[in-house]
Amino acid sequence: MKQIVEIDGVAQAYEVSGQGPVAIVHSGGPGIDSAYLRMPLLEQHLTMVYVDPIGTGQSGLLPGGGYSVATYAEFSRKLIEHLGATKPYFIGHSHGGFVGLELAMANPGLLGGLIAYSTATVYGPELFVEAGRQMAAFVRRWPDEPDAVRAGQAWTENQATGGESSEGEAAHTRFLQNILPAYFANYWATVAARGPLTLQVRDDPARKPDSWDGRDRLGRIDVPTLVVSGRYDFICPRQWSDQLVAGIPDTTYLRLDESGHFGYLEQQDLFVSTVAEFVK
């Protein structure tokens, strides 16, 4: 059952499940709630605190729409304070990885460890230009799959409008579902084995554009960091993970060569065993 705490006048929803050391689990997007990121097998090793980031799920909207990476990080810090958790782990997926990196850089000594799961060192035009190249490579790998062709078309059309849509939440959800196959090494095999993945998207009309770059501050991260990278991750390809490993003083690098953006689903056994060893 989800719990609610008020942080700076905004409702912050979260759900706790599992046993062992505390781990704050922050989903991606921005604008996607925590449902897709549930990892029951990790709950055998960690007390997982699944966060609905502000502006998503059952959490409240942020007045003024200033959903910066730094703001998400500050809400995470205050949630940790509310929980009374001492040196928790932080598992940040995709955009949630930016939040975890920022949290660690801005708050030395706060975390016990960081898991940077399918994320990057930068959020902005550079990320999306490279993602466009990776999307083209995905379509070339699957030329006879209509879903792959549709994903490429949806990406191209979206980028032609600057990545923005005037149609709101429904259009954003439809766009993400159309490009979803590109997030996997083999989407069709994963769906056959795990079932379909549905992303719950919430768009705050007041959300302001944001960019972030952590490259020149990675050396400030003073906690052990597990970097997880899928070989076929189109949105956060391996070059960004390589930069994390080069810049953070204490890293373990998990390269998932049969995964895209969702290594927990695609190579679950290796993902879980590596995280379990990391948090021992």
**Rounded (10°) angle between helices 95-106 and 69-83:** 70
> What is the per-residue pLDDT for 219?
98
Domains and CATH numbers, the chain: 68-123+212-280 (3.40.50.1820), 125-194 (no CATH)
Beta bridge partners of 24: 49, 90
CA distances from 111 to 79, 104, 178 (A): 13, 7, 36
> What is the per-residue pLDDT for 167?
60
pLDDT in tens, the chain (280 residues): 899 999 999 999 999 999 999 999 999 999 898 999 999 999 999 999 999 999 999 999 999 999 999 999 999 999 999 999 999 999 999 999 999 999 999 999 999 999 999 999 999 999 999 999 999 999 999 999 999 999 999 999 999 877 654 467 888 889 999 999 999 999 999 999 999 888 888 888 899 999 999 999 999 999 999 999 999 999 999 999 999 999 999 999 999 999 999 999 999 999 999 999 999 9
> What is the per-residue pLDDT for 165?
47
Is cis: bond before 30, omega within 30 of 0?
Answer: yes
> What is the per-residue pLDDT for 166?
46
Q: Hey, how many other C-beta atoms are within 10 angstroms of the C-beta on 119?
A: 29
2 contacts 14 by C-beta, under 8 angstroms:
yes
Give the C-alpha separation, 155 to 45, whole Å: 38
The sheet with strand 3-7 has its strands ordered as: 3-7, 10-18, 47-52, 22-26, 89-93, 113-117, 225-230, 251-256
CB burial of 21-33 (b: ≥16 within 10 Å; e: otherwise) equals bbbbbbbbbbbbb
Task: Tokens for 84, please give them.
Answer: 């009374």
- Taken as a whole, the chain contains a residue count of 280
Which residue has 């769906």 as its token pair? 191
Between β-strands 22-26 and 3-7, what pairing exists: parallel, antiparallel or unpaired? Answer: unpaired
Helices (H), the chain: 69-83, 95-106, 125-141, 146-160, 169-179, 187-194, 238-247, 263-266, 268-278
Give the C-alpha separation, 61 to 214, whole Å: 26
Helix and strand totals (H; E) in the chain = 9, 10
Give the C-alpha separation, 237 to 77, whole Å: 28
